[in-house]
Amino acid sequence: LALHLEGICPGWSIVVKGETSSSSGMFEINLLCDPGDQIALHFNPRLSSSRIVCNSFLNSHWGQEEVNSTFPFKAKEPFQVEIYSDQDYFHVFINENKVLQYKHRQKNLSSITKLQILDDIDISSVEITRRALY
């Protein structure tokens, strides 16, 4: 799945609802930026190791991984991932609980213009919504 955005705005969230598949699976939600579809945020839950790996792919290489061991996903279960952005961080909520934050490496948020979801999930909805609360 790929969706075009007008650029990420502080104060807005991307909400993905879906269901994971097998226990060996993984999936990724990528926020891509211009030019050349580099990755501002790679959000990659890996069910096999019960870790969430986040990283960026900028200037043609992967940066340092940020690995999170809070892992609310289970095989074949519905989930909701919300990625909220403010000026400094992406804040990631899973099933409405804050799980991690990721400092912006691509600081020009308006260059982040594509949402890409890959691999082993059934997506039921993707929503862009304004948040005033966080």
For position 62 contacting ligand GAL by CB under 6 A, the verdict is: yes
| Cβ-based nearer residue to ligand GAL, 42 or 104 | 42
Cis peptide leading into residue 72 (ω within 30°): no
| Cβ-based nearer residue to ligand GAL, 51 or 131 | 51
Number of residues that bind ligand GAL (CB under 6 A): 6
Count CB atoms within 10 A of the CB of residue 121: 23
Closest residue to ligand GAL, judged by C-beta, is 55
**Least separation in angstroms between CB 14 and ligand GAL:** 19
**Which tokens belong to 98?**
């804050």
**Least separation in angstroms between CB 65 and ligand GAL:** 4
**Residues numbered 32-61 forming contacts with ligand GAL, rule: CB under 6 A:** 42, 44, 53, 55
20: exposed, middle or buried (C-beta count within 10 Å: 0-12, 13-18, 19+)?
buried
Give yes or no for a contact between 47 and 73, defined as CB atoms under 8 angstroms apart: yes
For position 134 contacting ligand GAL by CB under 6 A, the verdict is: no
**Residues numbered 65-124 forming contacts with ligand GAL, rule: CB under 6 A:** 65
**Least separation in angstroms between CB 58 and ligand GAL:** 12
Q: Which helix (H) or strand (E) holds 101?
A: strand 97-103
* Parallel/antiparallel/unpaired status of strands 89-94 and 97-103: antiparallel
Distance, in Å, from the CA atom of 41 to the CA atom of 83, rounded to the nearest integer, reads: 10
Residues that bind ligand GAL (CB under 6 A): 42, 44, 53, 55, 62, 65
